[in-house]
């Protein structure tokens, strides 16, 4: 019998994980995947552009929740997804990543007795000041099947008491999208007027951009770096709302980019500075040095095996990491199962979970 699977996402970093998964599940006769878009992100540049670039089908359900405080956004998603679960009665609800849409859908499904599958389970920054850490802890604690991108995720889950039979290391769906689209992205005309090397910056974490002092400490470091290396900075809407004053001419601001344009920009960069989780992974897969503008990471494999370095968030810390990078750019290796075939391993794990 075909099993209906609700695949839920809502924010930009969810879409590159859902695209390969929904495609793979749709190719398996035992599954009927139904895409649910919560509408947490809604601007074309944060959502529609990703659907087009990734060749995703229109969602079966679009919940249009929009922005709000964490409580309002999470509650709205819960209110609007409950009737969808009631009418569709899926065999499982699949959630990805660590955004508010992830935890909201997981809570609703778990309380309705619908099995919850969390893709990208077990990652821990051990920093509960990060909203995503709360989302990860809650989602994992109520999930029935925990699909993991790196060994640290499995270790964390087992330490927290998850039964080993429910934890499967499947690899990284985001890298499936990267592998599938890299050639196409590289064939795009360059987005920059750079004639030589350049760096790319992204920043959107509330801890980095919401406080003017913190934001300006980071900008000061970027300013100094941009004296010797031009920096391209696609600006997230949260960050755009907080940018004021003039930046050094070496920092070129761009609108948020679609998936292929960003991949094209990033794949030609000599270094990336970011506070994103996904970009730490993508740079490791591309072999491009990454300086992470945070005090911690929930993705330690990008440091242990990949090209990532923690730079912190102070001006001095970032500049020290920058100098270290100039002295010795990190050369990493690609972690196990970050090979473009994670969707197939997710689908295999779902078949064993739902049919045996
Ligand atoms: C969310 C996720 C974060 C993820 C990030 C990727 C949570 C708690 N956070 O953060 O984990 O890394 O997405 O981008 O789920 N806005 C727009 N257009 C949009 C969406 C948002 O203008 O399409 C603006 C709104 O002013 C909104 C603000 O950006 O208030 C922040 O959006 P929100 O979804 O609350 O959080 P993000 O910072 O995007």
Which of 99, 174, 277, 292 has most ligand 1 atoms within 8 Å of CB, for mutation? 99
Sheet holding 199-202, edge to edge: 251-254, 231-234, 199-202, 271-274, 290-292, 308-310
* pLDDT tens digits, one per residue of 32-54: 999 999 999 999 999 999 999 99
CB 46 within 8 A of CB 237: yes
pLDDT at 245: 81
- pLDDT (tens digit, 9 = 90+) per residue, 302-345? 999 999 999 999 999 999 999 999 999 999 999 999 999 999 99
At residue 140 the predicted structure's pLDDT band, cuts being 50, 70 and 90, is: very high
What pLDDT shows up at residue 190? 86
| Catalytic residue from among 61, 70, 118, 204 | 204
Contact 79, 66 (CB under 8 A): no
**Rounded CA gap, 137 and 161, in Å?**
12
- Confidence class of residue 198 from pLDDT cuts 50, 70 and 90? very high
What separation in Å is there between the alpha carbon of 51 and the centre of ligand 1? 17
CB atoms within 10 A of CB 60: 15
Cα 243 to ligand 1 centre (Å) = 16
Express each pLDDT in 3-32 by its tens digit: 999 999 999 999 999 999 999 999 999 999
Per-residue model confidence as pLDDT tens digits over 65-105: 999 999 999 999 999 999 999 999 999 999 999 999 999 99
Mean pLDDT of 205-218: 96
Share of the chain above pLDDT 90, in %: 96
Domain annotation for the chain: domains and CATH numbers: 3-172+338-355 (3.40.50.2000), 183-327 (3.40.50.2000)
């Amino acid at each position: 019998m075909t099993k209906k699977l609700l695949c839920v996402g809502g924010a930009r970093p969810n879409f590159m994980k859902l695209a390969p998964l929904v495609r793979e599940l749709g190719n398996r006769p035992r599954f009927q995947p139904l895409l649910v878009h919560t509408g947490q992100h809604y601007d074309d540049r944060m959502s529609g552009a990703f659907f087009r670039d990734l060749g995703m089908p229109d969602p079966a359900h679009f919940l249009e929740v929009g922005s709000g405080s964490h409580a309002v956004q999470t509650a709205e998603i819960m209110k609007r997804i409950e009737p969808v679960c009631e009418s569709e009665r899926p065999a499982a609800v699949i959630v990805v990543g660590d955004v508010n849409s992830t935890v909201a859908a997981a809570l609703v499904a778990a309380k309705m007795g619908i099995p919850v599958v969390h893709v990208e389970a077990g990652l821990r920054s051990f920093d509960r000041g990060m909203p995503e850490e709360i989302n990860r802890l809650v989602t994992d604690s109520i999930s029935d099947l925990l699909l993991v991108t790196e060994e640290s995720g499995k270790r964390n889950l087992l330490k927290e008491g998850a039964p080993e039979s429910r934890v499967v290391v499947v690899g990284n769906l985001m890298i499936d999208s990267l592998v599938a689209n890299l050639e196409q992205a590289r064939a795009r005309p360059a987005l920059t007027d750079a004639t030589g090397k350049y760096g790319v910056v992204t920043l959107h974490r509330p801890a980095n951009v919401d406080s003017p002092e913190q934001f300006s400490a980071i900008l000061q470091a970027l300013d100094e770096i941009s004296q010797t290396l031009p920096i391209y900075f696609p600006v997230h809407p949260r960050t755009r709302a907080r940018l004021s004053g003039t930046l050094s001419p070496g920092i070129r601001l761009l609108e948020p980019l679609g998936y292929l344009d960003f991949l094209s920009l990033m794949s030609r960069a000599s270094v990336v500075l970011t506070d994103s989780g996904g970009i730490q992974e993508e740079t490791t897969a591309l072999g491009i040095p990454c300086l992470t503008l945070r005090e911690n990471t929930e993705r330690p494999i990008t440091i242990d095996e990949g090209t990532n370095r923690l730079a912190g968030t102070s001006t001095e810390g970032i500049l020290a990491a920058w100098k270290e990078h100039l002295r010795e750019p990190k050369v990493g290796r690609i972690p196990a199962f970050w090979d473009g075939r994670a969707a197939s391993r997710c689908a295999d794990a779902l078949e064993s979970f739902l049919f045996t």
